[in-house]
Every structure is written in structure tokens, then in C-alpha cells.
Amino acid sequence: MVTAVNLQQDELPQVKLQRQKCYRLINSKYPPVSVFDDVADADEFDALFALQALTNPRLQAQAGNLTLLPRYEIPFAITGCSYAVAPFTHVNPAGSRFSDGRFGVLYLADSVQTAVSEVAYHQGCYWSKVPGLAYERFVFRALSCEFTDVSLTDLTRLAPQHAVYAKDDYSAAQALGIHLRNQGSAGVQYYSVRNSGAICWGLFSPQYVTQMLQSAHYEMIWQNGNISAINQIVSYSE
């Protein structure tokens, strides 16, 4: 398998995207709005956050670690700002395909089906490690999103056998993600590993997002050691 070591940003092509439509799936246990959606700019945010923090002990948990994201990168005033910001202030310490857990990445897919496929795979991996779990129902919120005016490192030019596309070993992809981010890359365009031929994007900042709208709810049924069914249970007009 080809490795990702020593790839430089200037050795990889860039793709310029404008008003790119995309989708994301998140667990419905997360609140649909937060303090990020109540303000229009960074000054308002700081004032409101300081005021609400005096009376709302859960506010810090909802907002996440604000030191991980510069204020100028928060797209205040867009619809769904909290959805765009969450991956960067609630970073998964276990990491993801293009992050080792020290920074967030906003992962987006070219269709709802691709987003569902990606999430279903990771949910299956997680719940398969829970002993004695015979049946459970998980509900997810589908988001219809858009980002614009950004040039991304185009990994779709790499061979399918490249190490960044390893199904379960993220070491090469993480090394490349860290390297590209340190070089100033805004993110990556790459092929989905869970839905063959589909396109995904990983943004290293939420500042390019212009909207994230709730569009549907899906349920995943865990039964007999795997996800046995995936159903759309609610749909909203976009």
C-alpha cells in the first residue's frame, strides 16, 4: 500500500469550491441550538457567554473548549452556527481519519446516504464493543449544509490503494491531516471509504460554512450484534 509520508501540500492539487451542498449526521441527543446561535458577532458572544455562565452551569459543557477555536473562525449569524462549531470545541480525543485528537475536523458528505453510511459504520464499531447489548435504538439528526469560497487539498487524485484510504488504519491519513493543517490547508476533499465512489470533505475550520439546516431524523436499530435497520423517521422541507 502506498504511504502518505512526505506528501507536501504543494505536491497535491487544490480544488476550489463555491456554494458546495453537503450533508452531515449527528446524534440527536445534542441540543439543536446553543449560545453560538443567539449572537451576531464575537463581541456579542463574549458578553452573552459571560452573563449566561453566571446562571447556567451547563453552558460551558454545551459550548465546549473555546480555547481550541479562534473567535474569528466562528461563522456567527449563519443558520446552524452551533452545528458548524461543535466539532472544533468538542474534539474527540480518540481522533478521526484526518486528526489525531488534538484538533477538530468538520466532516461532510455529498449525500445523506453517504453521511448515513459513514455514521452507521462507526456506530457499528462502537456498539459491537459493548458486552450484552442485545437491542437498542439510536436517533440521528440529518443536516443539510453548505460551505463556500474555499480551496481544499484534493485527495481524490490519489490512488484508491493509497494509505489515506485504509479502511481501519488512520495512521497515514492522520499524519497527512496534521501536516496539511500545519501548512495552512483549509481542509481536504476525498473519497468516502464507506460508500464507494462518493465524495466527502473534511474542513479544518468552520469559517467557510454558510448554513447547516436540520433536514430529517434517522433511526438506527442495533440487534443481534449489528445495525439491522436504518429508517428515516422524520423529514423537514429545506
Residues 6+ apart with CB under 8 A from 13: 153, 154, 157
pTM, two decimal places: 0.89
Determine which of 36-40, 65-69, 104-108 has the lowest per-residue pLDDT on average: 36-40
Residue 80 resides in a domain: yes
Element (H, E) at 62: helix 59-63
Residue 171 resides in a domain: yes
Residue 201 resides in a domain: yes
20-62 per-position pLDDT tens digit: 999 999 998 776 667 777 776 878 777 777 766 656 666 667 7
Task: Report the candidate in 150, 75, 69, 60 with the shortest Cα–Cα distance to residue 102.
Answer: 69
The span from the CA of 14 to the CA of 197, in Å, is 19
Residue 4 resides in a domain: no
Determine which of 45-54, 84-93, 129-138 has the lowest per-residue pLDDT on average: 45-54
pLDDT surpassing 90 at residue 68: yes
- Residues of the domain holding 199: 9-235
Domain count, the chain: 1
Mean pLDDT for the stretch of residues 132-144:
93
Q: How confident is the model at residue 5 (pLDDT cuts 50, 70, 90)?
A: very low
